[in-house]
Structure 1
Amino acid sequence: MNALLFAYILLGFAIISEVTGSTFLVKSEGFTKLWPSVAVVILFSLAFYLLSQVIKVIPLGIAYAIWAGVGIILTAIIGYFVFKQSLDAAAMIGIGLIVSGVVVINLFSASTGH
């Protein structure tokens, strides 16, 4: 398998781990519930480990921008649908800008290793 493709697959898993960890962060209720707290620690550790593997191939700034941007978007979606948290117009515009930034990086930046 191509190293760049594999790095992007790992980045996807890192994002999923981070978003799932963030979801359990809410469920941990300030680390007062044991099992959701354990899940937070495990999932965030996994996310950072995977990210550390990704940056062997993809530059840190690019990998982190994608990881953080997609993570913010998915976390906002989970917050909206699962936890019934509202998103106002400013939040929606900001998320749209994040999506635009991730698209620009992936389509037009020579730094991504295309």
Structure 2
Amino acid sequence: MPFVLLAFAIAFEVTATLSMRASEGFTKPWPSVIVVAGYVISFVFMAKALTSLNVGPVYAIWSALGTIGAFAGGVLLFDEPVKPVTIAGAVIVVVGVIVINLGGGVHQG
């Protein structure tokens, strides 16, 4: 169950981040509302997940998958460029998360 909560936290964080881009500097009201609500909901789900998971690896997963999700969303929704170096960076982020999890795992205890 904690991983489902973490997945929801990531989904809401990515939605909030992409809405921030769509808000055009908080000049558009609906995307701006989604930004605030998305981050609040994301942190609530993250807090619930952290009641039974270790903070370091979970935060690494949350931030890495959030980064990958925002990158992919930017490409798909806003036609942002994809360059080999950005793909390499995404791979490095994922490898880093794997290494962190190998070092301690995500379960408390």
Q: TM-score, normalised by structure 2?
A: 0.90
1:34 is aligned to 2:3: no
Q: 2:72 aligns with which of 63, 70, 77?
A: 77
The residue type paired with residue 17 of structure 1 is F
After superposition, what is the alpha-carbon deviation per residue over 1:48-86, rounded to whole angstroms, capped at 9, x for unaligned? 111111111111111110000000011101111211101
Q: Is the 8 A contact 1:11 1:51 kept in 2?
A: yes
Match of 2:81 among 58, 81, 86: 86
Deviation at 1:101, TM superposition (A): 2.3
The whole-number CA distance in structure 2 between the counterparts of 1:82 and 1:29 is 14
Give the aligned CA root-mean-square deviation in angstroms.
1.6
Structure 1 unaligned segments of length 5 or more: list them.
1-5
Instruction: Please state if 1:112 is matched with 2:96.
Output: no
Provide runs of 4+ in structure 1 moved above 6 Å: none
Query: After superposition, what is the alpha-carbon deviation per residue over 1:6-48, rounded to whole angstroms, capped at 9, x for unaligned?
Result: 1110000000000011111111111111111111100110001
Q: TM-score, normalised by structure 1?
A: 0.86
1:65 aligned partner: 60
CA distance in 2, matches of 1:44, 1:112: 22
- Residue aligned with 2:36, SS: helix
Residue 102 (structure 1) aligned with residue 100 (structure 2): no
Does the CA-based 8 Å contact 1:21-1:41 persist in structure 2? yes
Identity of aligned residues (%): 34
Aligned positions, number: 108
Q: Which runs of 5+ in 2 are unaligned?
A: none
3-state SS of 1:45 partner:
helix
Paired residues of 1:105 and 1:112 also in contact (CA < 8 A): no
